[in-house]
Structure 1
Amino acid sequence: MTVQQFDYRDGDTVLQAGVVFPAGDGPAPAVLIAHQWAGRGEAEHRTAERLAALGYVGIAIDMFGKDVKGDPAGDNSHLIGPFLSDRAALLQRMRAGVAFAASLDRVDATKIAAIGYCFGGLCALDLARGGADGVVGVVSLHGMLDGNDLGGHGPIAAKVLVEHGWQDPMAAPDKVLAFAEEMGARHADWQLHAHGRAMHAFTNPHAAAPEKGMAYDADADRRSWASVVGFLGELF
């Protein structure tokens, strides 16, 4: 399958998405893929291809700006920091991705989901917290769980799935509990699957820093993807 590149905008910022269309000609559900802190790359494109093989339009969106990339092996705090301190800007950037998806002729704009990895997991959750037309479900994979007040205290409309590594230092048990309380208070239809031996970045085959709480876990990777596939099947 071919990854096609499309430019889109969030205000004055030019962004670029990698899109993979499924077989056929009719409108299909779309699944946005929000990237980890190094930016959109081959991992997100592979996920888009896997989603297209399931019959969805896979869209690897861009949070940082066209041609803005971090260091996969380095510290990319300077790229995600502005969004962590301005969650309204993060939500706006995610909504720009949703609007782009809805603009595509091959997308059924009433059937949009978002999945995200690490920083992207937070992005997906914030999309559910804030809401967006057509978004019916989100998935966070080893994502940050920290809440915000942008959505107020009203019900969360999108269904929520969290695939969490229990040994992830970026989402310690107290944050998991706070997230559960938040979801309950907002009457969300939510699930959290904890992978007991998994650390942060458990879906990334290149993650190999257990001393920092980051490591690939093949079992958690396989099981979490099966869960994602089932969740999307339920949504669509």
Structure 2
Amino acid sequence: MFNSILSSVVVFMAMTSANAAIKTESVDYKEGKTALEGFMAYDDSIKTPRPAVLIIHQWMGVTDNEKMRAQMLAEKGYVVLAADIYGKGVRATSPEEAGKLAGQYKNDRKLFRARGQAAFDLLKKNKMVDPKHIVVVGYCFGGTGALEMGRAGVPAAGFVSFHGGLSNPTPADAKNFKAPVLVAHGALDKGVNPEVMPFMKEMDDNKVDYQFISYSGAVHAFTQKSSGNDPSKGVAYNEKADKRSWAHFMDFLAEVAPIK
């Protein structure tokens, strides 16, 4: 009985110690004259430079969802920065407002890329980070942003889009990708499905190393629990697709930016 209790205490202390090592903080930085505020998570018990992940948010801005994913990745040993595309204090409070904010950047890809570049540069200069192994990942609006960074020639180790928009007004820019791409797509995402074949042609024409994985039964925003559970609305959480896409993401990270 005593040994059982002692073992439980040891396991609890080990778990507590591991959790205590994960540090989170808000990070102020700029793109030009625009003030931005990101969110960073990392394991401060690791003393050597390590791979990093840059997360680009969905259309509402930096939310608890991005912070949760950042902490999940930090627990695996990555230094993680959830970038701020919109600007410090600029957060959508409704889908209508989010649509207007996201539309501004989808219609100005140069600005979209610049905001992503600012976050990448910040992460690259961090002493905890191995600058040759930074992976850019985005959700929905952020998935588009991750692909835009690849099209801009950002020297990341990989680019990942979760249920992101795939449109590109300048397909020839795909020649600038310097690393592999992973796209996790909802098979029933009616808004993005018309963009799938042009995207694949863009990738193929420019000989980009890419994986495109489509999840049956999944609509838009399938990794976000806040999307609800009614696929008929066009956005909904799908637990199976969420878990499968995360596993595929982990495989991708192990290939392009492994934790040693």
Please confirm whether the aligned pair reaches a TM-score higher than 0.5, indicating the same fold.
yes
Q: Say which SS state the counterpart of residue 113 (structure 2) adopts.
A: helix
Corresponding letter in the other structure for 1:117: Y
Q: Say which SS state the counterpart of residue 215 (structure 1) adopts.
A: coil
List alignment gaps of at least 5 residues for structure 1. none
| 1:130-209 equivalent positions in 2, closer than 5 A | 130-133=152-155, 135-149=156-170, 152=173, 154=175, 156-172=177-193, 174-208=194-228, 209=230
Q: Distance in 2 between matches of 1:146 and 1:204?
A: 22
Q: Say which SS state the counterpart of residue 43 (structure 1) adopts.
A: helix
Q: Distance in 2 between matches of 1:11 and 1:123?
A: 18
Contact 1:131–1:158 at 8 Å: present in 2 too?
no
List alignment gaps of at least 5 residues for structure 2. 1-21
- Larger % of helix: which? 2
Tell me by how many angstroms 1:72 deviates.
5.5
- TM-score (norm: length of structure 2): 0.86
Tell me by how many angstroms 1:43 deviates.
0.7
For residues 11-37 of structure 1, give each alpha carbon's deviation from its aligned partner in whole angstroms, at most 9, with x where no partner exists: 000111111112311111110010000
Alignment match, 1:220: 241
Residue 41 (str. 1) matches residue 68 (str. 2): no
Contact 1:155–1:187 at 8 Å: present in 2 too?
no
Q: Say which SS state the counterpart of residue 143 (structure 1) adopts.
A: coil
Q: Distance in 1 between matches of 2:178 and 2:219?
A: 29
Contact 2:28–2:35 at 8 Å: present in 1 too?
yes
Q: Give structure 1 regions of 4+ aligned residues with deviation exceeding 4 angstroms.
A: 72-75
Tell me by how many angstroms 1:186 deviates.
1.1
Q: Distance in 1 between matches of 2:52 and 2:173?
A: 27
Tell me by how many angstroms 1:159 deviates.
0.8
Q: Distance in 2 between matches of 1:55 and 1:153?
A: 30
- Kindly tell me: are residues 201 and 152 of structure 1, through their superposed partners in 2, closer, same or farther at Cα, counting changes over 3 Å? closer
Contact 1:63–1:93 at 8 Å: present in 2 too?
yes
Contact 1:118–1:144 at 8 Å: present in 2 too?
yes
Alignment match, 2:143: 121
- Kindly tell me: are residues 6 and 82 of structure 1, through their superposed partners in 2, closer, same or farther at Cα, counting changes over 3 Å? same
Tell me by how many angstroms 1:150 deviates.
7.7
- Percent pairwise identity: 36
Q: Distance in 2 between matches of 1:5 and 1:191?
A: 33
Q: Distance in 2 between matches of 1:153 and 1:34?
A: 19
For residues 197-221 of structure 1, give each alpha carbon's deviation from its aligned partner in whole angstroms, at most 9, with x where no partner exists: 1000100112124333111100000
- Kindly tell me: are residues 151 and 91 of structure 1, through their superposed partners in 2, closer, same or farther at Cα, counting changes over 3 Å? farther
Q: Distance in 1 between matches of 2:171 and 2:125?
A: 25
Tell me by how many angstroms 1:3 deviates.
1.5
Alignment match, 1:20: 41
Larger radius of gyration: 2
Aligned residues: 234
Tell me by how many angstroms 1:6 deviates.
1.1
Deviates more, 1:115-124 or 1:68-77: 68-77
| 1:83-122 equivalent positions in 2, closer than 5 A | 83-122=105-144
Q: Distance in 1 between matches of 2:40 and 2:252?
A: 21
Deviates more, 1:203-212 or 1:97-106: 203-212
Q: Distance in 1 between matches of 2:86 and 2:68?
A: 19
Tell me by how many angstroms 1:155 deviates.
5.0
Alignment match, 2:91: 69
